[in-house]
Amino acid sequence: TPKVSKRILIMMSNTGGGHKASADAIKAAFQEKYGDDYDVLIEDIWKDHTPAPFNRVPDTYSFMVRHAFLWWFSYVVMQPRWVHSPYLRLVHSLVSKRLNTAFNELRPDLVVSVHPLMQHVPIRVMKSRIRSGLSQPINFATVVTDFTTCHNTWFHPEATRCFVPTEYCKQLAVQNGLKEPQIVLHGLPIRPIFSKPLPTKKMMKKALGLNTSLPAILLVGGGEGMGKLEDTVDQIAEKLGSSCQVVVVCGRNKRLLQRLSEKRYTSGMPVTATGFIDNIHEYMHASDAIITKAGPGTIAEALISGLPILLNGNVPCQEEGNIPYVVENGVGAFETRPPKIANILASWLSPLEREEFVLKAERSKALGRPEAVYKIVQDLATLAHVPDFQWGTAKAAVEAGRVPQPTI
């Protein structure tokens, strides 16, 4: 059996697809760079390691975001530290026993959180374990998976490291009491598959069975296939006719997939509908623009793929800041009404705006950070080897060869 040198516990929760995607990205990059040197475990802490009612957090989230006001209300109420700090202390007192059992079973050498509600409680549990001799001192790292507007509970001054995706997030970390050396800006961790070379756009279109001579618009409704997808396709078909094709990713929305697959558009616009796909990187590469809600993961992936981005909606609060990020960086637009969405697309694809459209794609590519996941993983690898991390000791450990270097 291969020797496992260090175990890394990634704490996520399936609230939206993004946290899981980030955890998977980190795990895949560890595997690629270090093989079996690290044993990376991904655990849904709320669902699998806390008692009721906390184990229903993921279900509650999906209910709340569908009822925007409820979500907005709890998000805003929890922002100030004087509210969330005592609240999470109370939660700690109710879940710490189960969490302690989880730590005893999993025995991590480094804990990584990719979730806004997994700082205060786990850090408190870890500290008490270290104090009572149940655990060696180990490091705790937060990898922020929101792009811009982040809830304050992401930031805990006692986290060893906090990896942020944007300068804006970095400022939020500072405002929440983190010190400069604790905060590291690499970008959002995106699955390594997005940074691998692919054939030309035309060849990719052919490989996916798309029309090779028409621009392709990728319409993504998130993992759940939400939003006014069908209406949007209808409007695009009406306004753009056979001058483009649309690929609709319906996610887990089976009814929508069925309806779109059966529909024929009189304008002759080719429409390809798919369910949840694992090769979304290939579809992005084959496409010429994307329409999506303002999810951080999808935006970061679209940037790596060099796509102009038309945002058609957002989860209240944490995705709001992603809209100005896209618009002000000149890589896209925001519009929720399907007829207007079709108008914007028509202008993007018109010969008059061709130059600006190409520029949008170039700016998008330039903003993408495909290397972020590797940089984060390299830093995490170091953190797993150096208990009670300080810059000096980490550097010494690397120089003394105590920290394995990436093998590839």
d(CA 282, CA 352): 29
Determine which residue in the list 37, 44, 109, 301 makes contact with ligand UDP, applying CB under 6 A: 301
AA identity, residue 279 = N
Q: Which tokens is 234 given?
A: 């209808």
Q: Look up tokens 């990205």; give the residue.
A: 25
Smallest distance from the beta carbon of 114 to ligand UDP, in angstroms? 11
SS3 340: helix
DSSP assignment of 179-191 equals -GGGEEE------
Are 95 and 81 a contacting pair, CB within 8 Å? no
Name which position in 192, 222, 338, 404 contacts ligand UDP (CB under 6 A): 222
Q: Which of 10, 11, 12, 18 binds ligand UDP (CB under 6 A)?
A: 18
Please tell me whether residue 116 binds ligand UDP under the rule CB under 6 A: no
**Binding to ligand UDP (CB under 6 A): which residues in 151-190?**
none
Minimum distance of ligand UDP from residue 26's CB (angstroms): 13
Q: Is 108 in the site for ligand UDP (CB under 6 A)?
A: no
SS3 percent helix, strand, coil of the chain, rounded to 5, is 50, 15, 35
- Options 21, 183, 247, 341; binder of ligand UDP; rule CB under 6 A: 21
Contact assessment for residue 186 and residue 163, using Cβ atoms and an 8 Å cutoff: yes
Does residue 251 belong to the site contacting ligand UDP (CB under 6 A)? Answer: yes
- Asked if 16 interacts with ligand UDP (CB under 6 A), we say yes
Q: Which stretch binds ligand UDP (CB under 6 A): 43-51, 233-241, 273-281, 350-358?
A: 273-281
Does residue 296 belong to the site contacting ligand UDP (CB under 6 A)? Answer: yes
Between 296 and 308, whose beta carbon lies closer to ligand UDP?
Answer: 296
Question: Cis peptide before 53, with omega less than 30 degrees from 0?
Answer: yes
Integer Cα distance of 4 and 217 in angstroms:
45
Cα gap 183→193, rounded to integer Å: 26
Of the pair 17, 241, the CB lying nearest ligand UDP is at 17
Task: For ligand UDP, give the closer residue by CB, 72 or 276.
Answer: 276
| Contact between residue 156 and residue 124 where contact means Cβ atoms under 8 Å apart | no
- Cβ contacts of residue 213 below 8 Å, gap of 6+? none
Residue 322 in contact with ligand UDP, rule: CB under 6 A: no
Residue 362 CB, shortest distance to ligand UDP, in Å, is 22
Q: How far is the CB of 301 from ligand UDP (least distance, A)?
A: 5
Write the single-letter amino acid at 242. S
Q: Candidates 184, 277, 394, 398: give the one binding ligand UDP (CB under 6 A).
A: 277
Q: CA-to-CA distance for 16 and 62, rounded, in angstroms?
A: 7
Least Cβ distance, residue 249 to ligand UDP (angstroms) = 5
Asked if 298 is part of the footprint of ligand UDP (rule: CB under 6 A), the reply reads yes
Q: Judged by CB, which is closer to ligand UDP: 225, or 404?
A: 225
Position among 189, 192, 297, 404 found at the interface with ligand UDP (CB under 6 A): 297
Does the footprint of ligand UDP cover residue 223 (CB under 6 A)?
Answer: yes
Interacting span for ligand UDP (CB under 6 A) from 4-12, 43-51, 290-298, 356-364: 290-298
Size of the site for ligand UDP (CB under 6 A): 17
Dihedral sign, Cα of residue 394, residue 399, residue 402, residue 408:
positive
Checking 93-101 for CB contacts under 8 A at 24+ apart, the result is 94/51, 94/54, 95/50, 95/51, 95/54, 95/121, 96/121, 96/124, 96/125, 96/128, 98/49, 98/50, 98/51, 99/45, 99/49, 99/50, 99/125, 100/125, 100/129, 100/134, 101/49
Q: Which stretch binds ligand UDP (CB under 6 A): 5-13, 292-300, 341-349, 353-361?
A: 292-300
Residue choice 187, 295, 306, 368 for contact with ligand UDP (CB under 6 A): 295
Q: How far is the CB of 296 from ligand UDP (least distance, A)?
A: 5
- 332 touching ligand UDP, by CB under 6 A: no
Question: Under the rule (CB under 6 A), what is the footprint of ligand UDP?
Answer: 16-18, 21, 222-223, 249, 251, 276-277, 280, 295-298, 301, 315
